[in-house]
A = this chain, B = another copy of it.
Amino acid sequence: MKGKLYAIGLGPGGEDNMTIRARRCIEGCDVLVGYSVYIDQIEPFCSGKTLIRNGMGQEKDRCREAIRQAREGRTVGMVCSGDAGLYGMAGLILELVELEKLQEEVAVEVIPGITSAVSCSALLGAPIVEDFCTISLSDYMIDWEKIRHRIRMAAEGDFTIAFYNPRSQARPDYLKEALQLIEQYRGGDTPVGVVRNAYREGQQVRTTTLEMLDDTSVDMFCTVIIGNSKSRLCGGKIVTARGYAL
């Protein structure tokens, strides 16, 4: 092996929500690569290391650069917000390493992190306590028809649902449509939680219901969690009953 490439999940927000292992792993890297916001976030404890930032939409370039650095014998960390795999870069790195037949040159290891569904659930109380799913409302890589189908299946299956990338200027109506689809299966009083800038400056945590949620108040910095049939609002929090007899 020439080099080592870690895909590292930072968890949400600041350093606190990173695992001890992720922190130690970053400390052992020569080079850190990532979307500029995440590199800024780890910069305070990365003095002396090479930091490579790039922008949104440049995921392939970012992964190729990380692989190139590792091929030159360096220990490289690709940092991702939340988890390294889920809506992160671990998969793309493994795909590129295989495509370029570099499995003998670059050892890839994935360091998991706390994903947004779970970290936002904690801020809302306990909406996610049993079977749940995540659905990204971005149609950048998946057809909106397929996303709609998944929403229907998740709603019919009574999963608690966490929406990632819930609403952007490029697709302002998807969240509204998603909520309407869910209302075909769940009552308008179903609890909904919206967390904006989780564990960051300006964090906002709101609870409401399916029928009361103003979808235009949601943007790309939000995660939206839709309760299931056993969820209820409880003193400003959302709690889903596991089913213990109390």
Residues of B within 8 A of A224 (CB): none
Does chain B have a CB within 8 A of A176? no
The complex places the Cα of A237 from the Cα of B128 at a distance, in Å, of 29
Q: Chain B residue with minimal CB distance to A129?
A: B91
A41 contacts chain B at the CB level, 8 A cutoff:
no
CA distance in complex: A47, B125 (Å): 30
Residues of B within 8 A of A123 (CB): 110
CB distance from A143 to the nearest CB of B (A): 10
A166 within 8 A of B: no
Does A119 lie at the interface of the complex (its beta carbon under 8 Å from any beta carbon of B)? yes
* Contact pick for A91, options B7, B17, B85, B240, CB 8 Å: B240
On chain B, the residues within 8 Å of A141 by CB distance are 130, 242-244
- Tallying the copies of this chain within the complex gives 2
A246-B96 contact, Cβ under 8 Å, with A23-B20, A91-B126: yes
The answer, among B9, B121, B131, B243, for a CB contact under 8 Å with A135, is: B131
Inter-subunit contact A157/B158 (CB<8 Å): no
Is B130 a contact of A246 with CB atoms below 8 Å? no
Spot the interface stretch: A27-35, A71-79, A147-155, A211-219.
A147-155
Task: Give chain A interface residues in 189-244, CB to chain B under 8 Å.
Answer: 234-235, 237, 239-244
Inter-chain contact B157/A103, CB cutoff 8 Å = no
Residues of B within 8 A of A65 (CB): none
A-B contact pairs, 19 of them (CB 8 A): A7-B126, A17-B20, A19-B114, A86-B118, A86-B128, A88-B129, A90-B125, A90-B129, A94-B125, A95-B244, A98-B234, A110-B123, A113-B118, A131-B133, A131-B142, A133-B134, A141-B243, A141-B244, A152-B157
| Partner-B contacts on A (CB < 8 A) | 7, 9, 11, 15-21, 23-24, 59-60, 83-88, 90-96, 98-99, 103, 110-115, 118-119, 121-123, 125-136, 141-142, 146, 149-150, 152-154, 156-159, 234-235, 237, 239-244, 246
